[in-house]
Structures are given as structure tokens and as C-alpha cells.
Amino acid sequence: MRISEMAVPNAYLIEPDRLNDSRGIFFETIRHSRLCDVAGHDLAVRQVNFSVSSRNTVRGIHGTMLPPGQAKLITCVRGVALDIAVDMRVGSPSFGMYAVTRQDAEGGTAVYLPDGIGHAFQALTDDTCMSYLCSQEYVPGTMIDIDAFDPDLALPWELSGPVIRSPKDVAAPTLAEAAASGLLPGYAECIASYRGLTAAQDDEAGAGSRR
């Protein structure tokens, strides 16, 4: 697989090598050691989510307060999705920047989004199913919601009809409003969190070598 940093720093695009034969297709969605080597920190999966959406559904922009944080590995397992990562880290050199990935079940492309990177997607087909491997369990009251149609972000949605959104997403603040209210994590805070994961990973590796 190929893992490359996206236009939003610290977020990664994962493109698997597909093996095709008469039976169909096989590919690795992720290999833990490869992601750790590239990202520089661990991804411990503590919750797995799936969402199923109709065509023209837009979900997000969603993130999590820090702490507890919640990094995500996201891939489309049925249908087609336009996936967007947004830098929500206050003080980041790329604050408000976004990266777009087109995902479909056949390609197996995934994105890894650490703490402070918001996530949104549009279902381009009916019955689009997205898989989320999450580093932390959901904690009520810690979610961050940003308006996916924030005019300052101007995200490039590809709507072919009326958009379908949840009332919560429709009522979400803009990125600037969320920053002004203190909802968003700071860039330095997020970088420290990544370093903490690296230290924890090194400690675990050291403990394993002493067993």
C-alpha cells in the first residue's frame, strides 16, 4: 500500500495494492506498522462505526474535543463517497484548509485523520456505507460539529439534487464561530497529543522487549 500525507498536514491518504484474479479482488485496507512508521504514532482501535447514507446525504463536518480525542481511519465499503478532511486546529499553519478524496468500495482508498482534523463526506450513490475505525470510544458531549456549507470553507460538494442533512448538522456553527467560542482544539495541543501517542507506543514496545 501507499501512504502519503494529504494537503492537510498530519492527515494521510492510504491507497492499497489490489490483487485481482478469477475470484475477484483482495487488498489490505491498512497495515498497523506501516501507518505507525509514516504517521509517527500509534492507532489503537477502540470502536468501529458504520454509516449508511442515501445519495446527496452530507454528514459532517465532525470532530472530537481534546481530550478525549478520537482519531479515525475511514474507508468506503459500499457505494461511492466524496470524502473531505478539514484542519480545525486553532493556530495551525493550515487552519481551514481541506483535502478531498473520492472513495469507492472497489478501490479501497482510506484516509487517516488524527485529532484536530474534521471529517465530512457526501454519498454519491444510494446505500453508500462508510467504515470508521476509531482510536477512542464515543464520549457524549465531546463531539464538535461544523457547518459543512460554511461559506468561508467553500467545500466542493457535488450535489445532484437536494441535500440531505441532520438537524444537528444544519444548526452547526461555522469554523470561525466555533473557534471564537473555544470549541476547537489548539494546534500545539494536537501535536503534543500525537507525541504522547508516540511515547506510549515506544513504552509498549520497550515493555514487550523486556518480557
pLDDT at residue 87, rounded to an integer: 98
pLDDT at residue 199, rounded to an integer: 52
Q: Is 32 a catalytic residue?
A: no
Question: How far does Cα 186 stand from its chain's mean position?
Answer: 17
pLDDT at residue 161, rounded to an integer: 97
CA 73/CA 25 separation, integer angstroms: 21
Q: Provide the phi-psi class of 115: left if phi over 0, else alpha when psi is between -120 and 50, else beta.
A: beta
Helix (H, G, I), strand (E, B) or coil at 95: coil
For domain 2-205, the CATH superfamily is Jelly Rolls (2.60.120.10)
Helix (H, G, I), strand (E, B) or coil at 23: coil
Identify the active-site residue in 12, 41, 62, 119. Answer: 62
Identify the active-site residue in 12, 98, 112, 132. Answer: 132
Give the single-character DSSP code of 112.
E
Task: Supply the pTM of this predicted model.
Answer: 0.90
Q: Which residue has the cell 523486556?
A: 210
CA 198/CA 16 separation, integer angstroms: 24
The stretches in the chain having pLDDT less than 50 are 205
pLDDT at residue 65, rounded to an integer: 96
Q: Which residue has the cell 460554511?
A: 150
Q: Which residue has the cell 439534487?
A: 161
- Phi (first) and psi of residue 206, to 5 degrees: -65, -40
